[in-house]
Structure 1
Amino acid sequence: MEWQTVNFDWNRAKAFLVAAEEGSFSAAARALGVTQPTVGRQVTALEEELGVTLLERVAHGIELTPTGLEVVEHFRAMSEAAARVSLVAAGQSVSLEGTVSISASEVISTHLLPPIIRAIRVDYPGIEIDIVASNLASDLRRREADIAVRNFQPQDPELVARKVKESRAWLYASPAYLEELGHPTSPEDLSNGEFIGFDRTDALMEGLNALGLDLTGRSFPIITESQLVQWELCKQGAGICVMMEEVGDAEPRVQKALPDLPPFPVPMWLVSHREVRMSRRVRVVFDALADGLS
């Protein structure tokens, strides 16, 4: 394979790499936080720089050309190497000035983090905080975040994790909605209600049925991946949803749908990469989060 030039813009290479991994320009745009046309222009410009065709546009996305298949592995290796350099460099910082990024779910970012972040800013005004509010797990190896708040224990040996809390989640609904159901007192009664789901899989339904409910796919007429949208729907009386008790018990517009039903365990872990964890400001924020969340 002969390229017209070996010089290229890394941002364009990153756009190509993410597009190849995501399978479409639209998905790559969401992952990169840019517009779909921007991704397309960056990939086209990279192809012009290298003098090769890397992607073919097909009906439902994109496909790598033979050259693209070869090139993407080189770019992936470069991306991983750059991430390792970034991790090592971040870990060597002893300054209490700079940015620390925190990844957490929408609910934790909205309801639990604000007072902790406020306290960090008061005690360490030189530390700036980036909050990545997402229900997807950030890739700490690629520096998508410095610290992640997760509900599962990571298995990656490169990550440092501390369990800070064992919380619980319950089923909540508005008093008016429970009144419409006749004030359910048993799993059978509650099974007549409508539930707000996270996705179209059966995971939530199977978990609730294991607690004694008798739900089917028709029991979930509303689906949204957004925890905040779910919660607002619940508060407005649109159905029953699952929520952490720290949030649910503090909200006067809802109540536990069936207090005698066993709660869902919600472990809370703080996670960081070993290299990044060596940074003084990351350690400060990590410890402050551990104290605040626990």
Structure 2
Amino acid sequence: MDWRSVTFDWNRARAFLVTAEEGSLSAAARALGLAQPTLGRQVEALEAELGVALFERTGRGLRLTPSGHELLAHARIMGEGARALSLSAWGQSEALEGEVAISASDAYASYLLPPILERLHAAEPRIRIEVVVSNDLSDLSRREADIAVRNVRPTEPDLIARKIREARARLYAAPGYLDRCGRTAAGGPISGASFIDIDEQGSLMKLLNTQGFALTEADFPYRCRNFAVMWEMVRRGLGIGILDDRIGDADPSVERAVPGFTPITFPVWLVAHRDMARSRRLRVVFDALAKGLA
């Protein structure tokens, strides 16, 4: 390759790419942690180096020129290459210090991760942990997290995963609530008990009805998309909820609401980016999570 043919500053190309992606200089400056005038000068300098206008200045901000549109595709390739280089370099680190971000659902982040992280910190105090709480799948390729606890096996080729266990979800309620609504001879709640739904699709009602329940929307006076909040509602006696039995059975303020209920099983996967698996810091955290969640 004739490196003399590259006549522009690569850092200025990043300024152009982020400005185009974010849609304005102010948004791009925030994304890069730069002052807006500084970023603007970088974009203008790139235009001068390339000899083309990349943006049209309008009353509402910036708009890509035809030349800008054409060069943006090349800038995106450069950005992906820079991101891949950063990931690979990060993965080579052998230092047991620095930050590792862990993505987990609100229930796992609230009830299962804290004791694991406490033990990890006692063993490796220089590793800093960020807990990314999300019930959606974090994009590990884009560094939304370094490690993710998931309930589905990843399909992306650049991710590695270890199946930790088959978890079981059971129905729980506060003892006082079951005392108020009554119990069947088998120990479960009588008809007329209230349930707390977990999403707009009525997933819990559908699951329970496949097991012989005859529930309608009237049996679900509450709905909550956050499992940790739902669990607090269960503990306060608002109704019956469903949760991983490692959490439910360990909580003395609740009990299994329907002892004969067949638990819902689901897998627990630990996922990381393939390049990052070469990082000693990441391996230590990954293994601590695997041991603690197993």
Q: TM-score range by the shorter chain?
A: 0.7 to 0.9
Distance across 1 between alignment mates of 2:14 and 2:113: 43
1:215 paired residue number: 215
Structure 2 counterparts to residues 135-146 of structure 1, below 5 A: 135-146=135-146
Structure 2 counterparts to residues 57-68 of structure 1, below 5 A: none
Q: 1:76 to 1:7 in 2, by over 3 A?
A: closer
TM-superposed CA distance for 1:9, in Å, is 6.6
Contact 2:187 2:259 in 1 (8 A): no
Q: 1:214 to 1:53 in 2, by over 3 A?
A: farther
Distance across 2 between alignment mates of 1:116 and 1:7: 39
Distance across 1 between alignment mates of 2:108 and 2:174: 21
> Normalising to structure 1: TM-score of the pair?
0.75
1:8 paired residue number: 15
Note if 1:159 corresponds to 2:166. no
2:181 paired residue number: 181
> Normalising to structure 2: TM-score of the pair?
0.75
TM-superposed CA distance for 1:219, in Å, is 2.5
Task: Report the RMSD for the aligned CA atoms in angstroms.
Answer: 3.7
More divergent stretch after superposition (183-192 vs 141-150): 183-192
Q: 1:79 to 1:6 in 2, by over 3 A?
A: closer
TM-superposed CA distance for 1:208, in Å, is 1.3
Q: 1:185 to 1:78 in 2, by over 3 A?
A: farther
More divergent stretch after superposition (202-211 vs 238-247): 202-211
Contact 1:190 1:213 in 2 (8 A): no
Q: 1:261 to 1:11 in 2, by over 3 A?
A: same
Distance across 1 between alignment mates of 2:220 and 2:149: 28
TM-superposed CA distance for 1:209, in Å, is 0.9
| 1:222-244: CA deviation from partner (whole Å, max 9, x where unpaired) | 12211111001111111111111
TM-superposed CA distance for 1:210, in Å, is 0.7
Contact 1:86 1:143 in 2 (8 A): no
2:203 paired residue number: 203
Q: How many residues align?
A: 261
Q: 1:7 to 1:129 in 2, by over 3 A?
A: closer
- Aligned partner letter, 1:242: I
SS in 1 for 2:242: strand
| 1:89-132: CA deviation from partner (whole Å, max 9, x where unpaired) | 21111111111111111111111111211221121122111111
1:103 paired residue number: 103
Distance across 1 between alignment mates of 2:194 and 2:247: 21
Contact 1:172 1:242 in 2 (8 A): yes
TM-superposed CA distance for 1:256, in Å, is 0.9
SS in 2 for 1:8: helix
Distance across 1 between alignment mates of 2:78 and 2:172: 47
SS in 2 for 1:94: coil
| 1:258-283: CA deviation from partner (whole Å, max 9, x where unpaired) | 01010011321111010011111001
Distance across 2 between alignment mates of 1:70 and 1:180: 69
2:49 paired residue number: none
TM-superposed CA distance for 1:202, in Å, is 3.0
Contact 1:187 1:213 in 2 (8 A): no
Distance across 1 between alignment mates of 2:72 and 2:222: 39
Distance across 2 between alignment mates of 1:228 and 1:117: 18
Contact 2:147 2:286 in 1 (8 A): yes
Structure 2 counterparts to residues 1-294 of structure 1, below 5 A: 8=15, 12-13=19-20, 15-16=22-23, 51-52=55-56, 80-184=80-184, 192-294=192-294
Distance across 1 between alignment mates of 2:76 and 2:197: 36
Contact 2:182 2:190 in 1 (8 A): no
In structure 2, list runs of 5 or more residues that go unmatched: 1-11, 45-53
Q: 1:235 to 1:143 in 2, by over 3 A?
A: same
